[in-house]
């Protein structure tokens, strides 16, 4: 990677980070408030009636899932809104005419989404400490899962923005796909509580593997193997990167 590409990548990444940090009241505060409500309602109030989940309190059990849920939604939203805004304002054309490789554009935008997701993850984790004693089984597992998941959904957000023709198209996937899959992804319950048939159905949901991989890093236990979760994350990231690279290289949704 030559110095020109490094400068271009750093410039795009700094621009993306500055974008969400400038409006931190809208990008960083709402997830903290939302997660606090989840902890109060589902953890403190309802959790006391549910009891233990695999040897852990219900609050301890849902903490990794709630952190992962905020990471997924914010990494996706950051890139989809940013890239579509660049399309809408026509300044994405400056990137197309610049001598910048496609991968630099992808890494720059995705890097901004990952930075926001990491920051949100830290904020939500700090909020959770007010409600429960957060346990960490393996920090490396937590970091790798967080990094790969945020990269995956940031790339997915970029692909959504490429195809989007108006701002309404940006909210379709989060509303009708991400939200249902996340709530059915084992955030609030263990798959072992489901009948055998629905356990197998749930395992078709990719978010199940991300939530459980993240939960393994905190608690040392999960419904699915961490090796399987890691393998799927790597494969999904590779596939979505190729799709994003292909779309941007061909100018789909950008060149008219």
Per-domain residue ranges of the chain: 3-250
Q: How far is CA 141 from CA 179, 226, 240, in A?
A: 24, 9, 22
The 10s digit of each residue's pLDDT in 153-183 is 999 999 999 999 888 888 888 889 998 999 8
pLDDT above 80: residue 195 = yes
- Among 21-25, 48-52, 213-217, the range scoring the smallest mean pLDDT is 48-52
> Is the CB of residue 207 less than 8 Å from the CB of residue 182?
yes
- Stretch 137-156: mean pLDDT, rounded? 96
pLDDT above 60: residue 256 = no
Which class for 83: exposed (0-12), middle (13-18), buried (19 or more C-beta within 10 A)? buried
- Stretch 232-240: mean pLDDT, rounded? 97
pLDDT of residue 14: 95
Q: Which long-range contacts (CB under 8 A, 24 or more apart) does 42-50 make?
A: 42/188, 43/131, 43/132, 44/131
Confidence of residue 4 (pLDDT cuts 50, 70, 90): confident
- Among 11-25, 79-93, 198-212, 234-248, the range scoring the smallest mean pLDDT is 79-93
- Among 7-16, 51-60, 137-146, 226-235, the range scoring the smallest mean pLDDT is 51-60
pLDDT of residue 97: 77
Residue 101 neighbours by CB distance under 10 Å: 15
DSSP letter, residue 178: I
Cross-strand pairs, 254: none
Strands, DSSP E only, in the chain?
none
Cross-strand pairs, 56: 53
Confidence of residue 230 (pLDDT cuts 50, 70, 90): very high
């Amino acid at each position: 990677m030559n110095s020109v590409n490094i400068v271009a990548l750093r410039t795009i990444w700094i621009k993306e980070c500055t974008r969400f940090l400038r409006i931190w009241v809208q990008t960083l505060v709402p997830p903290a408030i939302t997660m606090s409500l989840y902890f109060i309602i589902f953890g403190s109030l309802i959790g006391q009636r549910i009891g233990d989940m695999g040897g852990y309190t219900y609050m301890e059990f849902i903490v990794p899932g709630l952190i992962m849920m905020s990471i997924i939604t914010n990494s996706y939203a950051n890139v989809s809104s940013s890239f579509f805004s660049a399309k809408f304002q026509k300044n994405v054309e400056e990137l197309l005419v610049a001598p910048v490789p496609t991968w630099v554009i992808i890494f720059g935008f995705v890097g901004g989404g990952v930075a926001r997701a990491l920051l949100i993850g830290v904020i939500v984790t700090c909020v959770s400490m007010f409600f429960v004693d957060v346990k960490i089984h393996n920090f490396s597992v937590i970091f790798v899962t967080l990094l790969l998941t945020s990269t995956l959904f940031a790339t997915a957000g970029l692909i959504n923005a490429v195809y989007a023709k108006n701002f309404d198209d940006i909210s379709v996937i989060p509303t009708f796909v991400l939200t249902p899959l996340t709530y059915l992804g084992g955030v609030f319950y263990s798959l072992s509580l489901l009948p055998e048939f629905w356990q197998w159905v749930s395992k078709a949901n990719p978010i199940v593997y991300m939530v459980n991989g993240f939960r393994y890093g905190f608690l040392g236990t999960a419904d699915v193997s961490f090796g399987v979760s890691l393998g799927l994350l790597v494969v999904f990231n590779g596939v979505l990167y190729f799709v994003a690279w292909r779309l941007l290289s061909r100018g789909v949704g950008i060149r008219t």
